């Protein structure tokens, strides 16, 4: 049994979608460097990001992004009639008189809509009034962006594949698109297109291709791409990147370490459940094994991301979610290794897997793309330390929250406060809260030090910092109330769940609900209803179980 | 009795109440900030008397609990350290608020400046007998937001009568109004549009400004009130409109870049239209006032935006005028001219700061700033030039200059001025020392408790 698990583990970690030989034909095309969004990236990343922007996913009906992007540049008409543009915000659909049950629309339908120009004009005048854009206008802005990206890829404008020559001295000069290429470069890219079309035709349905044919196609493709990139490189030898970073980025996107991590964490959860059902001690070892393997994948993902962006990953929601889930796992493993109560590891693995799954599936809210950093936040030791410290404290509170949920469940089942399980849960909640407070207080102070160091203002009531302080005060109040004897067993369990709402507000709400202040560079619409639902359901559950618990305690006394 | 009071003040229950109160207060502050802005939140919450009262209660509670535990034992060290730390930190904050300087200094490219703009606002009146040599006749620090002039009238008696602040609008949108007037210059409103593009513009001439030009992408439009339309094509896509006194119609001419195309000439009246011959664009004359004036009116708005500003209405002998923040209006009386100013107070430094160079690094292929820095020279400073970059401030004569932002020409994107935040903070080291104690205390609390609690933990494998 243990042996099988080892095999599974090794297989999982090494597996990647690259294994398909069909896609292998496009490998050289994928690593062609392109300049977009303030940096140089592989063409594959560009294709994935563009597709994700328009369609919300990185593949379209199992077709890889690079294939979609290439066909869409070659034959835009085909894509205009596919239900391809994602619109999720109901008010936008309503404004365009679209069916609200549908989430994807053809570009033709959108462009042909007679209300479109009116709606976009509305957006323009809203922008001109400089008022804050509400979610409706943010969704409209996205639609505008979707149409823009579609058209500029269709016209080839965005294919900045050639570095500017020496005549452009500015270090930030954009790379050149097809309109500025030499005839040779254009011809070479035409050859790339022809190789691609050949590949597509060979792939056409119900046709089996032999290994030989595939090799032939690949050689053809590699040759034309090499030819083109040699011409592009000749334009400016210094600006053309070497391939080490590009290849590393391809590895990162294709290997997808964070996905491996959550699968492994879920395996760990499964093992603990097996432990409870089958009572076989080895399962405990296995759950540790999977959790550790997950943590290794998680860490590897981090290191890759740091290498690719050249900075610690703490600049947007996506990156903090990844970091918090990492912290939750580390803390859970630390507390678990002391007390060996099993459910701490379970809570950690659940929290971590939950965060990572969320970050994999909400690209609009949690943007996974690698972004250059805003000027104010650039290269700052204090910034990094303070954000890392504050967010890692959220991990401890998240763990306390999950443990609180377990506790609520047992109270719901009618266990008493003296039950050893509940005493253990209460103590671990207390521990997690202490870790959190011991990290959050210094984290906030480091934020003050950073602000003082950067612009001479120790505390400026910035909403993000202020809400971190509110969360800190909230937990400090809980710890003081516990000392005063106001919160005992059930009280502490309930407050672990309730107080976490403050963390959610500080972590998510400030950007997405308040949407004001210096820290909101990652401002965007979406998900508010789900998060509010999540918080609301928990609060209702706490109240319900509190009433239940109270009445049961009265019964016991009688 | 004394003991009882201390016991009450030192009680944990009271401290929990104070902490929760503080939470609620500052949470309200952040909500106000998101709905309005930081200034309003500061005025209504962060520097309100209830905030100070809560802080005071906190300090009393923190102190009493320490008094109550006297004499301290070693196990008290963590909580005493954390509590003293908070008190010292708050004391530092108080010093900063009372005696600190927090302003901004804007220095244009290759120029010098020494005026530091601070947050406080003032109302001042200057008088001049012959239209020059203004002397200050009144100055007062004001906060019209908290003490509105409607409720607390502000009157200044002058030789010409009583000058009064009538109204205050916290968010006023300046609106340009063009209306017919007598003995003034002509104004037109025209539109150039097809089914995809649409430009609508006002052009208002004055006695000194008789030629108005506007570049609209596809063509340049020129409005003339005294000059004649050129007789020959200019070699560019251009539209000329000419107003003639006493004439209801305007003369127009449309020139083409393509020299072979024939120039279009003719007359157009209000409501009339002409096909320009460029991708279906039509020229329409929407309004024509042979004599018009341009005035600004202020429309009250609910919330602050980037376009609106604070404005006050000032009157002298019944004549009312609007005045927006950091602006000046004049009242002309037979003998004296009064200039009225409402805006931010300025503090003059003892030295000039000269901006020699300003550099922006941008993200590849975009206009997004990646980093920026200024090279400045302080007049009379023998140590030479200073480089001020993000996170690399300049310290000079007890002041610290931070690179805060920059201003750029909206048309070209070139920087025109660098903005520094100028700062003096007498409370800094108290805040740092207090922070240090808090951090040490918090970590010690955690450490102590861990040792104590391990003994009472239930056995492992409980489930």
> Nearest by CB to B460, which of A339, A453, A480?
A339
Q: Do A483 and B458 touch (CB under 8 A)?
A: no
Residues of B in contact with A438 (CB under 8 A): 442-443, 445-446
In a domain, A228, yes or no: yes
> Nearest by CB to B431, which of A340, A423, A458?
A458
Residues of A in contact with B306 (CB under 8 A): 130
Residues of A in contact with B461 (CB under 8 A): 340-342
pLDDT of residue A497: 97
Domain match, A228 and A143 both: yes
| pLDDT level of residue A170 (50, 70, 90 thresholds) | confident
In a domain, A246, yes or no: no
- Beta strand ranges found along A95-177 (DSSP E): 104-106
Domain match, A177 and A273 both: no
Q: Do B463 and A36 touch (CB under 8 A)?
A: no
Q: Do A454 and B390 touch (CB under 8 A)?
A: yes
Question: Distance from A203 to chain B by nearest Cα, in Å?
Answer: 36
A71: enclosing H helix or E strand: helix A65-74
**Poorest-confidence range of A35-39, A389-393, A505-509?**
A35-39
Q: Do B93 and A481 touch (CB under 8 A)?
A: no
| pLDDT level of residue A286 (50, 70, 90 thresholds) | very high
> Nearest by CB to B363, which of A38, A457, A469?
A38
In a domain, A251, yes or no: no
Pairing label, strands B273-275, B264-268: unpaired
By the 8 A CB rule, do A353 and A421 touch? no
pLDDT of residue B457: 59
By the 8 A CB rule, do A496 and A407 touch? yes
**Poorest-confidence range of A17-31, A178-192, B120-134?**
A17-31
Domain match, A194 and A290 both: no
Q: Count of CB atoms within 10 A of residue A312's CB?
A: 17
Please tell me which residue of chain B has the smallest CA distance to A445: B435
Per 3-state DSSP, what percentage of chain A is helix, strand, and coil (rounded to 5)?
70, 5, 25
B198 inside 8 A of chain A by CB: no
By the 8 A CB rule, do B120 and B344 touch? yes
Residues of A in contact with B453 (CB under 8 A): 427, 430-431
Those residues with Cβ within 8 angstroms of residue A521's Cβ, 6 or more apart along the chain or in another chain: A315, A316, A374, A377
Please tell me which residue of chain B has the smallest CA distance to A117: B196
Domain match, A226 and A292 both: no
Average pLDDT for residues B192-199, to the nearest whole number?
A: 78
Interface pTM (ipTM) of the complex? 0.85
Read off the tokens for A364: 């609009």
> Nearest by CB to B363, which of A160, A372, A453?
A372
Question: Distance from B46 to chain A by nearest Cα, in Å?
Answer: 8
On average, the pLDDT of chain B sits at 87
Query: In B, residues 398-437, which contact A (CB 8 Å cutoff)?
Result: 400, 402, 404, 421, 423, 425, 428, 431-432, 435
Question: Distance from B207 to chain A by nearest Cα, in Å?
Answer: 31
Domain match, A231 and A260 both: no
Express each pLDDT in A67-86 by its tens digit.
889 988 888 888 888 888 98
Average pLDDT for residues A379-408, to the nearest whole number?
A: 90
CA–CA distances in Å: residue B351 to residues A508, B114, B392, B404, B406: 45, 6, 21, 20, 21
By the 8 A CB rule, do A289 and A5 touch? yes
Per 3-state DSSP, what percentage of chain B is helix, strand, and coil (rounded to 5)?
25, 45, 30
pLDDT of residue B231: 83
By the 8 A CB rule, do B92 and B434 touch? yes
In a domain, A508, yes or no: yes
End-to-end CA distance of chain B: 51
Residues of B in contact with A515 (CB under 8 A): 34
In a domain, A248, yes or no: no
> Nearest by CB to B13, which of A339, A375, A484?
A484
Please tell me which residue of chain B has the smallest CA distance to A336: B460
Question: Distance from A426 to chain B by nearest Cα, in Å?
Answer: 10
pLDDT of residue A470: 97
Question: Distance from A201 to chain B by nearest Cα, in Å?
Answer: 36
Domain match, A222 and A286 both: no
> Whole-prediction pTM value?
0.85
Residue B210 scores a pLDDT above 50: yes
From the number of C-beta atoms within 10 Å of its C-beta (0-12, 13-18, 19+), residue B91 rates as middle
B452 inside 8 A of chain A by CB: no
Q: Which of A181, A205, A235 is the last residue of a domain?
A: A235
Those residues with Cβ within 8 angstroms of residue B161's Cβ, 6 or more apart along the chain or in another chain: B316, B317, B333
In a domain, A318, yes or no: yes
pLDDT of residue A522: 37
Taking the C-alpha atoms of residue B113 and residue B115, their distance in angstroms, rounded to an integer, is 6
Q: Do B421 and A459 touch (CB under 8 A)?
A: no
Domain match, A290 and A368 both: yes
How large is the greatest C-alpha to C-alpha distance in chain B, in angstroms?
105
By the 8 A CB rule, do A196 and A70 touch? yes
Domain match, A66 and A24 both: yes
Residue B401 scores a pLDDT above 90: yes
Average pLDDT for residues B38-50, to the nearest whole number?
A: 93
Read off the tokens for A302: 């981090």
**Count of A-B CB contacts under 8 Å:** 191
Q: Do A463 and B30 touch (CB under 8 A)?
A: yes
CA–CA distances in Å: residue B241 to residues A253, B182, B209, B222, B269: 60, 22, 15, 6, 11
By the 8 A CB rule, do A513 and A132 touch? no
Read off the tokens for A11: 């297989």
Domain match, A214 and A289 both: no
Those residues with Cβ within 8 angstroms of residue A13's Cβ, 6 or more apart along the chain or in another chain: A260, A293, A297
Domain match, A261 and A230 both: no
B67 inside 8 A of chain A by CB: no
| pLDDT level of residue B454 (50, 70, 90 thresholds) | low
Please tell me which residue of chain B has the smallest CA distance to A505: B27
Read off the tokens for A412: 């719901």
How many Cα atoms sit within 13 Å of A440 on the Cβ side?
29
Question: Distance from A222 to chain B by nearest Cα, in Å?
Answer: 28
> Nearest by CB to A375, which of B33, B372, B460?
B372
Please tell me which residue of chain B has the smallest CA distance to A129: B307
A382: enclosing H helix or E strand: helix A381-412
Express each pLDDT in B306-330 by its tens digit.
888 999 999 998 888 889 999 888 8
Please tell me which residue of chain A has the smallest CA distance to B430: A458
B384 inside 8 A of chain A by CB: no
Q: Dump the DSSP string for B284-351.
A: EEEEEEEEEEEEEEEEE-SS--SS-EEEEEEEETTEEEEEETTEEEEEE-SS-EEEEEEEEEEEEEEE
Taking the C-alpha atoms of residue A452 and residue B402, their distance in angstroms, rounded to an integer, is 10
Taking the C-alpha atoms of residue B98 and residue B104, their distance in angstroms, rounded to an integer, is 18
Q: Which of A205, A235, A265 is the last residue of a domain?
A: A235
On average, the pLDDT of chain A sits at 86
By the 8 A CB rule, do A137 and A123 touch? yes
Express each pLDDT in A204-258 by its tens digit.
666 677 788 888 888 999 999 999 999 999 988 888 888 888 999 998 988 889 9
CA–CA distances in Å: residue A367 to residues A47, A85, A143, A320, B213: 15, 18, 17, 11, 45
pLDDT of residue A114: 84
> Nearest by CB to A484, which of B16, B96, B368?
B16
Express each pLDDT in B146-160 by its tens digit.
999 999 889 999 888
**Three-state DSSP class for residue A532:** helix
pLDDT of residue A517: 41
pLDDT of residue A520: 39
pLDDT of residue A457: 86
Q: Which of A235, A265, A288 is the last residue of a domain?
A: A235
Q: Dump the DSSP string for B15-33.
A: HHHHHHHHHHHHHHHHHHH
Residues of A in contact with B359 (CB under 8 A): none
B278 inside 8 A of chain A by CB: no
A35: enclosing H helix or E strand: strand A33-36
> Nearest by CB to A442, which of B305, B439, B449?
B439
For residue A88, give its domain range.
20-235
CA angle A433, A490, A414 (to 5 degrees): 135
Residues of A in contact with B33 (CB under 8 A): 461, 463, 514, 516-517
Domain match, A283 and A213 both: no
Question: Distance from A377 to chain B by nearest Cα, in Å?
Answer: 9
By the 8 A CB rule, do B210 and B223 touch? no
Express each pLDDT in A406-457 by its tens digit.
999 999 998 888 888 899 999 999 999 999 999 999 999 999 988 888 778 8
Question: Distance from B48 to chain A by nearest Cα, in Å?
Answer: 14
pLDDT of residue A519: 41
Q: Do A470 and B457 touch (CB under 8 A)?
A: no
Residue A153 scores a pLDDT above 90: no
pLDDT of residue A168: 81
Average pLDDT for residues B98-120, to the nearest whole number?
A: 93
Average pLDDT for residues B326-336, to the nearest whole number?
A: 86
In a domain, A6, yes or no: no
Express each pLDDT in A477-528 by its tens digit.
999 999 888 988 899 999 999 999 999 999 988 887 776 444 433 334 567 7
Question: Distance from B157 to chain A by nearest Cα, in Å?
Answer: 39
> Nearest by CB to B457, which of A379, A427, A483?
A427
Residue B239 scores a pLDDT above 70: yes
Rg (CA), chain A: 27
pLDDT of residue A18: 45
Domain match, A303 and A348 both: yes
Taking the C-alpha atoms of residue B181 and residue B294, their distance in angstroms, rounded to an integer, is 9
B16 inside 8 A of chain A by CB: yes
Is the model more confident about B70 or about A433?
Answer: A433
Q: Do A427 and B453 touch (CB under 8 A)?
A: yes
Residues of B in contact with A469 (CB under 8 A): 26
Total structural domains within chain A: 2
In a domain, A425, yes or no: yes
Please tell me which residue of chain B has the smallest CA distance to A133: B305
* Inter-helix orientation angle A282-309/A343-361, to 10°: 40
Task: Select from A185, A276, A198, A270 the least CA-distant residue to A228.
Answer: A185
């Amino acid at each position: 049994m243990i042996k099988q698990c080892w095999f599974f583990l090794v297989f999982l970690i090494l597996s990647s979608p690259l294994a398909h030989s069909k896609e292998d034909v496009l490998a050289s095309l994928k690593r062609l460097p392109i300049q977009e969004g303030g940096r140089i990236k592989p063409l594959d990343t560009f294709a994935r990001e563009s597709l994700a922007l328009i369609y919300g996913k990185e593949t379209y009906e199992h077709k890889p992004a690079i294939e979609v992007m290439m066909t869409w540049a070659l034959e835009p008409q085909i894509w205009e009639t596919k239900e391809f543009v994602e619109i999720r915000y109901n008010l936008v659909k309503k404004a365009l008189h679209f069916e609200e049950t549908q989430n994807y629309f053809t570009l033709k339908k959108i462009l042909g809509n007679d209300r479109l120009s009116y709606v976009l004009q509305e957006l323009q005048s809203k922008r001109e009034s400089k008022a804050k854009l509400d979610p409706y206008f943010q969704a409209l802005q996205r639609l505008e962006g979707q149409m823009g990206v579609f058209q500029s890829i269709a016209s080839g404008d965005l294919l900045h594949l050639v570095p500017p020559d020496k005549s452009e001295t500015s270090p930030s000069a954009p790379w050149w698109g097809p309109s500025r290429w030499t005839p040779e470069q254009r011809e070479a890219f035409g050859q790339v297109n022809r190789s691609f079309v050949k590949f597509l035709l060979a792939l056409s349905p119900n046709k089996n291709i032999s290994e030989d044919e595939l090799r032939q196609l690949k050689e053809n493709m590699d040759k034309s791409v090499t030819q083109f990139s040699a011409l592009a490189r000749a334009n400016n030898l210094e600006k053309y990147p070497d391939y080490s970073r590009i290849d590393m980025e391809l590895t990162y996107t294709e290997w997808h370490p964070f996905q491996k991590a959550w699968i492994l964490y879920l395996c760990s959860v499964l093992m603990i459940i097996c432990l409870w059902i089958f009572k076989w001690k080895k399962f405990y070892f296995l759950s540790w094994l999977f959790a550790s393997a997950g943590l290794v994948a998680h860490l590897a993902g981090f290191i890759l991301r740091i290498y690719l962006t050249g900075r610690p990953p703490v600049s947007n929601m996506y990156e903090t979610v990844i970091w918090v889930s990492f912290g939750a796992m580390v803390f859970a493993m630390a507390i678990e290794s002391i007390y060996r109560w099993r459910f701490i590891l379970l809570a950690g693995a659940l929290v971590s897997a939950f965060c990572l799954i969320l970050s994999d599936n909400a690209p609009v809210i949690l943007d996974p793309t690698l972004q250059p950093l805003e000027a104010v936040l650039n290269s700052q030791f204090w910034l990094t330390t303070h954000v890392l410290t504050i967010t890692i404290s959220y991990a401890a509170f998240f763990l306390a929250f999950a443990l609180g949920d377990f506790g609520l469940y047992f109270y719901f089942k009618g266990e008493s406060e003296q039950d050893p399980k509940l005493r253990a849960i209460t103590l671990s909640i207390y521990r997690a809260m202490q870790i959190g407070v011991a990290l959050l207080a210094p984290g906030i102070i480091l934020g003050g030090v950073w602000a003082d160091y950067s612009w001479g203002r120790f505390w400026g009531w910035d909403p993000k910092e202020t809400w971190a302080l509110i969360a800190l005060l909230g937990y400090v109040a809980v710890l003081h109330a516990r000392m005063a004897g106001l919160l005992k067993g059930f009280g502490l369990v309930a407050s672990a769940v309730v107080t976490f709402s403050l963390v959610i507000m500080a972590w998510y709400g400030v950007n997405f609900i308040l949407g004001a202040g210096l820290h909101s560079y990652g401002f965007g619409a979406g998900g508010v209803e789900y998060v509010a639902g999540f918080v609301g359901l928990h609060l209702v559950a706490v109240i319900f179980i509190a009433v239940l618990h109270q009445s049961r305690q009265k019964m016991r006394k009688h | 009795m004394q003991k009882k009071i201390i016991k009450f003040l030192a009680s944990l229950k009271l401290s929990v109440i104070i902490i929760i109160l503080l939470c609620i207060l500052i949470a309200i502050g952040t909500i106000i900030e998101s709905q309005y802005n930081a200034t309003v939140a500061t005025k209504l919450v962060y520097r309100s008397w209830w905030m100070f009262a809560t802080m005071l209660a906190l300090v009393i509670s923190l102190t009493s609990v320490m008094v109550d535990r006297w004499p301290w034992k070693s196990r008290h060290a963590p909580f005493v350290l954390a509590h003293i730390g908070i008190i010292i930190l708050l004391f530092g904050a108080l010093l900063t608020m009372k005696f600190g300087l927090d302003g901004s200094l804007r220095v244009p490219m290759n120029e010098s400046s020494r005026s530091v703009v601070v947050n406080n606002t003032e109302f001042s009146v200057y008088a001049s007998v012959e239209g020059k040599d203004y002397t200050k006749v009144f100055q007062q620090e004001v906060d019209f937001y908290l003490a509105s002039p409607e409720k607390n009238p502000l009157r200044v008696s002058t030789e010409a009568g009583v000058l009064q602040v009538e109204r205050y609008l916290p968010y006023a949108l300046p609106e340009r109004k063009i209306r017919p007037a007598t003995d003034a210059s002509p104004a037109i409103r025209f539109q150039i549009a097809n089914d995809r593009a649409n430009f609508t513009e006002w052009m208002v001439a004055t006695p000194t400004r008789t030629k108005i030009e506007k570049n609209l992408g596809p063509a340049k439009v020129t409005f003339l009130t005294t000059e004649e339309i050129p007789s020959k094509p200019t070699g560019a896509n251009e539209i000329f409109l000419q107003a003639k006194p006493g004439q209801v119609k305007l003369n127009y001419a449309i020139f083409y870049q393509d020299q072979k195309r024939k120039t279009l000439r003719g007359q157009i009246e209000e409501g009339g239209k002409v096909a320009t011959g460029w991708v279906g664009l039509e020229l329409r004359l929407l309004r024509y006032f042979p004599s018009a004036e341009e005035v600004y009116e202020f429309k009250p708005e609910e919330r602050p935006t980037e376009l609106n500003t604070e404005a006050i209405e000032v009157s002298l002998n019944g004549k009312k005028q609007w005045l927006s923040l950091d602006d000046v209006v004049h009242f002309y009386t037979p003998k004296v001219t009064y200039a009225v100013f409402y805006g931010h107070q300025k503090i003059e430094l003892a030295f000039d700061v000269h901006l020699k160079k300003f550099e922006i690094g941008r993200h590849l292929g975009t206009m997004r700033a990646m980093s920026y820095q200024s090279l400045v020279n302080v007049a009379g400073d023998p140590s030479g030039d200073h480089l001020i970059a993000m996170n690399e401030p300049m310290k000079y004569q007890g002041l610290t200059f931070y690179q805060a932002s920059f201003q750029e020409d909206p048309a070209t994107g070139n920087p025109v001025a660098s903005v520094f935040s100028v700062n003096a903070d007498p409370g800094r080291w108290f805040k740092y020392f207090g922070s240090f104690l808090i951090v040490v205390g918090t970590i010690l609390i955690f450490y102590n408790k861990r040792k104590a609690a391990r003994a009472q933990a239930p056995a492992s494998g409980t489930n």
